Structure 1
Amino acid sequence: MKFNLKKYRTGLLALIVIASATSCKKYLDEPNKSNFTQQNYFTSQSQARAFVNGIYGNNLNGQNYGTYFFQNGDAYGEAPFITLELFAGHATSLGQSVNNNNVIFERTDPTNPGFETVWKSCYTAIAECNIALNRIPAISMDDATKKSMLGEVYFLRAFYYYHLVRLYGDVPLIIAPVDLNSPLLYPSRTAKEQVYDQVVSDLLAAEQSGLPGTNGMLASMGAVHTLLSSVYLTMAGYPLQKTENYQKAADEAKQALPLYTLFTDYAYLHDNAHKNQGELIFQVNYDATKNATNAITQLTVPFNLPVGVYSDHLGAMIPTDAFFASYEAGDKRTQEQQFYFSQYPSSDGKSTVIFGEHCLYKYFHVESSVSGTANSGKCDENWTLLRLPEAMLTYAEASNEVNGPTADAYAAVNQIRTRANLAPLAGLTKDQFRVAIWKERYHELAFEDKSYFDIQRTHQIYDVKNNVFGPATSTANEQGVTMKDQYYLWPVPQREISTNNKLTQNTGW
């Protein structure tokens, strides 16, 4: 069977599309090799490495999964990473964007292109993982190298399935290569419990693979512990409510904490000099020198104002004033050019542009914003998928659910607060500490695609106007929208259902 056997229009049919070695061109700049078959390609360690690099490169950035996070947003800023963030209710979007505004005001439907992009991209990546796990064991190479490489693939497959099961609920579970003759070419949905079990199984396999604690651009043991702690925390909440997983979440997060250190400067979160370092556990990697760029800065600067020398200024995701105001007085993250900014020198350097709103400096890429440099107008800021504060807050929350507030749990949260120039937490009850941790998640991990998942697992939303949490389906957000039950999940993309009559739609869609 040839690589790139045939181009199909749907995600599940993409399970039979085998990615060629050209898929790694954006990530690690591997040589272009095309027209290989499985039989003559998976014969050496270098070929296996190139293929695994391609699972990162083609799907975490570039053509496929990158569109989920930020790549290829259209002229209205309808990038799927923004779609996911808008579900949380704390951002506005460019008025011309029909799909974005339909998400904000909960009148979207299964034809929204963001739903299809994420589904299709995840299954494309899973197909590549299945092939790698099937073919690499037979390749002759050092056992430790092979085991570690397979650990990376187990991590990646878990990563994609974790997103699928949280977003869509019951999803087809495919863990072996599929060809045109496979009965799984048109699969049914698998119970979410079984999908979660597979995610855990893959991550436990990755933990036994000998991955290094940190690993630069690649999956690491720290990333495995952090992701698995998130999985266990989610499983302890809705919809599974398996509360025995709180202890497991705390144990996994605790193993990640010593491997990383908090930055002393928030600017390091989005500059080129500190990529894959410090508190950055796992990132989508970009490099303008290899023509691997993204649109995140253009998407998040104010609409149509000359802030940076970019071809577009889309204003596609702007924090609400009420969310910005929900930070505690004196919080360093709200100071100008920390997490947010409200003014900036114009692109010609002749004046200061006043926004009239607070935009995300957290994603402003200084290196590409000025003229006359090699990076001018070419943003290659990395997108962070996992970082240390998430692991710290996961540890604190999970530990609190088991033991109530402890010194270690307080220490995890208070390190984040100390960096933000806030007083440490102390003397709280278990319930008070839980709410304090939730608030810290919203403020520290703001606009990192975490909030919607927190709503799903807690069934609570952050009522920023009153600085409290309330039931998600009976508490209006700052835009006057009260979440509908159906919005706990995304709809199965309509094109998938039209192509595969074994698929059913989620309730309410």
Structure 2
Amino acid sequence: MKNILRNTPKLLLAAILVCGSTGCEDFLDLQPKDTRTEDNFFRTEADAREALISVYDVLQWNTVIGFHPTPMLLDIASDDAFAGGGSRTDAPNIIEVDNHNILTTNPEIQGLWKKHFFGISRANLLLSKMEGIEASKASKARIIAEAKFLRAQFYLDLVRFFGNVPLVLEPLVSASEFNQPQATPKAVYDQIAKDLEEAIPDLPEATLAASQGHATKWAAKALLAKAFLFYNGVYGQNLQAGDVTVDANRALQHLQDVINQSGHGLVPNYADIFTPEGEFSVESVWEIAYSDENPWFDWGFIHGGEGNIQPQMQGPRLQDPAAEQYLSGWSFAPATQSLFEAFEANDPRKDATLLTVSELNGGLDRGYQHTGYFSQKYTTSKAYAPSAGQTELNWGNNYRAIRFADVLLMAAELGLTAGGGTPQVWLDMVRDRVDLPTKPATLENIYQERRVELALEGQRYWDLLRRGMNVADQAISTTQRGPLYSGDPVDYNITFNPARNGFFPIPQSELDLSAGVLNQNDGY
């Protein structure tokens, strides 16, 4: 993680954190390879900051079991991308996501589940140790705020993916505590809101560049509004953050604070956002950082490095990379004809979002569900080519998780529903940046703008679900076939299953371990 995880002894710290949360007597009985152990680690401010870095580290993990980059899986689950890959048998677990026919034994889904609980466990352990840390009041308050922000981030993705998940807020230190029941979605979302509301006062009023990638007040406000929009859309209720009710007006006020006070803004040239120079730009309200500064080679422990596997997965299968501006990738998540046609004429975001076959100079090995379109935002651009290590494992493309344009469009949507702010101005700001004429600030126009502005950034699936199962079904269920498609027509037939409410299955391995405590989601 650029500027955050550099020079961190990750393996030792990971062992301390995991064992501190689960009780690993065998590990602790071994001769220590360092002077630090669980018993003497959580004492100084430096210890706490290192533990905090270890929580951030889990954000990067996309290969706990198999390959499960969150934004890519979300695009595949939506109507913006297919599964792709080399062939019909290349990655059947990812194809299950595309077909909305996910088996409960799907390893990638198990990896997704485990990743988020790893992050939650590390955050919980750090929070439980903060009282004994020797540090200034201000330093402790900020570390606690960042840990709560990160716990909220992990839980928001987890509850949106799985719906019915255990809500664990303390370290689990004995086997009798491991089997935690599922909480109601309301309890989880309310805790997310509570963590963020409590974190906001103690997070810095800074841009991500100034905070060196650490969470800021503005990131927490934007994430809370995002959580509200999804929960309110799916469940029709407000969030309750302790004594504070987060309704549409409060969520809108948080977004207006970001718009008017944060110093964030729109990058003038849209395509510049997704370049190395565009990382931690004025537009990035929240960004997950990756790096090639710690060269990595271990295919058996990919997430031990700092690289982002998603660009490698999404890049085209080039026959002659020397003739291209890209290195060869694995052709996952090819974009759909539906997305290609969603852009207006002369919208520069189309070229900045989609890499088309016609732009390639050399030969191309066409993969499964070849559509002729690849992601331009997260791909194997030579501008990001790793300088050392195994090339496939060291891509440093940061993920722009919340952009200022997203904030503007969320504010415009809430402004219409809550009856406040200046929705037309906020929508116009997004369109003005790409020299498109004004459109009335209606909900339909805002939803359409979100699709093209945030395309292939992992946002579309959540936007469809929060608008209702009928909307998701109409968009995702398709037999559409574009002019550049190749392969059997049946490979492009997707059927969304509304009975599952858009949720992924609870991994069967977790159900088995729970001995009946956990229940499977509807439809599986």
TM-score in terms of structure 2 length = 0.79
Q: Report the counterpart of residue 253 of structure 2 in structure 1.
A: 251
In structure 2, relative to structure 1, the CA distance for the partners of 1:418 and 1:476 (3 Å cut) is same
Q: Report the counterpart of residue 60 of structure 1 in structure 2.
A: 59
**Alignment gaps of 5+ in structure 1:** 19-31, 462-469
**Cα deviation per residue 1:402-436 (whole Å; 9 max; x = unaligned)?**
218x6x2111111111122211123x5xxxx0011
2:331 maps to which of 312, 315, 319? 315
**Aligned-pair distance for 1:80?**
4.9
Aligned equivalents of 2:118, 2:270: Cα separation in 1: 34
Q: Report the counterpart of residue 430 of structure 2 in structure 1.
A: 416
Aligned equivalents of 1:248, 1:286: Cα separation in 2: 33
Q: Report the counterpart of residue 128 of structure 1 in structure 2.
A: 122
**Aligned-pair distance for 1:188?**
0.8
- Residue 361 (str. 1) matches residue 376 (str. 2): yes
**Cα deviation per residue 1:59-102 (whole Å; 9 max; x = unaligned)?**
011xxx3338xxx965xxx6554322211132121233322222
**Cα deviation per residue 1:484-508 (whole Å; 9 max; x = unaligned)?**
1215211101111111121110011
Aligned equivalents of 2:17, 2:153: Cα separation in 1: 24
Residues 316 and 328 in structure 2, CA contact (< 8 A), matched pair in contact too: no
Amino acid at match of 2:397: E
Aligned equivalents of 1:476, 1:180: Cα separation in 2: 46
Aligned equivalents of 1:323, 1:345: Cα separation in 2: 18
In structure 2, relative to structure 1, the CA distance for the partners of 1:434 and 1:310 (3 Å cut) is closer
Bigger shift: residues 135-144 or 79-88: 79-88
**Aligned-pair distance for 1:39?**
2.9
In structure 2, relative to structure 1, the CA distance for the partners of 1:120 and 1:332 (3 Å cut) is same
Residues 126 and 157 in structure 1, CA contact (< 8 A), matched pair in contact too: yes
Q: Report the counterpart of residue 481 of structure 1 in structure 2.
A: 494
**Cα deviation per residue 1:239-281 (whole Å; 9 max; x = unaligned)?**
2444972222211111112321111223332222232121112
Aligned equivalents of 2:215, 2:437: Cα separation in 1: 35
Amino acid at match of 1:387: R
Within a 5 Å distance, the mapping from 1:25-40 to structure 2 comes to 36-40=36-40
**3-state SS of paired residue (2:332):** coil
- Residue 457 (str. 1) matches residue 466 (str. 2): yes
- Residue 86 (str. 1) matches residue 99 (str. 2): no
Q: Report the counterpart of residue 464 of structure 1 in structure 2.
A: none
Q: Report the counterpart of residue 439 of structure 1 in structure 2.
A: 448
Backbone CA RMSD of aligned residues: 3.1
Amino acid at match of 2:59: L
Q: Report the counterpart of residue 199 of structure 1 in structure 2.
A: 192
**Cα deviation per residue 1:153-202 (whole Å; 9 max; x = unaligned)?**
01000111111111111211110111125x43111101111111111110
- Residue 165 (str. 1) matches residue 159 (str. 2): yes
Aligned equivalents of 2:62, 2:407: Cα separation in 1: 23
**Aligned-pair distance for 1:108?**
2.0
Q: Report the counterpart of residue 288 of structure 2 in structure 1.
A: 284
**3-state SS of paired residue (2:293):** helix
Residues 15 and 124 in structure 1, CA contact (< 8 A), matched pair in contact too: no
**3-state SS of paired residue (1:380):** coil
In structure 2, relative to structure 1, the CA distance for the partners of 1:325 and 1:474 (3 Å cut) is closer
Residues 15 and 177 in structure 1, CA contact (< 8 A), matched pair in contact too: yes
**Aligned-pair distance for 1:211?**
2.5
2:353 maps to which of 339, 345, 348? 339
User: Identity of paired residues, percent?
Assistant: 22
Q: Report the counterpart of residue 44 of structure 2 in structure 1.
A: 44
**Alignment gaps of 5+ in structure 2:** 1-11, 25-31, 240-245, 296-305, 481-491
Residues 282 and 386 in structure 1, CA contact (< 8 A), matched pair in contact too: yes
Aligned equivalents of 2:23, 2:354: Cα separation in 1: 42
In structure 2, relative to structure 1, the CA distance for the partners of 1:505 and 1:35 (3 Å cut) is farther
Amino acid at match of 1:85: D
**3-state SS of paired residue (1:330):** coil
Question: Which structure has the highest helix share of the two?
Answer: 2
Residues 416 and 443 in structure 2, CA contact (< 8 A), matched pair in contact too: yes
**Aligned-pair distance for 1:343?**
4.7
**Aligned-pair distance for 1:34?**
5.1
In structure 2, relative to structure 1, the CA distance for the partners of 1:279 and 1:7 (3 Å cut) is closer
Aligned equivalents of 1:36, 1:504: Cα separation in 2: 40
In structure 2, relative to structure 1, the CA distance for the partners of 1:274 and 1:473 (3 Å cut) is closer
In structure 2, relative to structure 1, the CA distance for the partners of 1:164 and 1:369 (3 Å cut) is closer
Aligned equivalents of 1:35, 1:486: Cα separation in 2: 50
Residues 304 and 314 in structure 1, CA contact (< 8 A), matched pair in contact too: no
TM-score in terms of structure 1 length = 0.82
Amino acid at match of 2:426: A
**3-state SS of paired residue (1:384):** strand
In structure 2, relative to structure 1, the CA distance for the partners of 1:345 and 1:192 (3 Å cut) is closer
Amino acid at match of 2:131: P
In structure 2, relative to structure 1, the CA distance for the partners of 1:353 and 1:393 (3 Å cut) is farther
Aligned equivalents of 1:33, 1:265: Cα separation in 2: 50
Amino acid at match of 1:209: D
**Cα deviation per residue 1:338-359 (whole Å; 9 max; x = unaligned)?**
222225887xxxx455787122
Residues 235 and 245 in structure 1, CA contact (< 8 A), matched pair in contact too: no
Amino acid at match of 1:246: A
Aligned equivalents of 2:16, 2:104: Cα separation in 1: 25
**Aligned-pair distance for 1:221?**
0.6
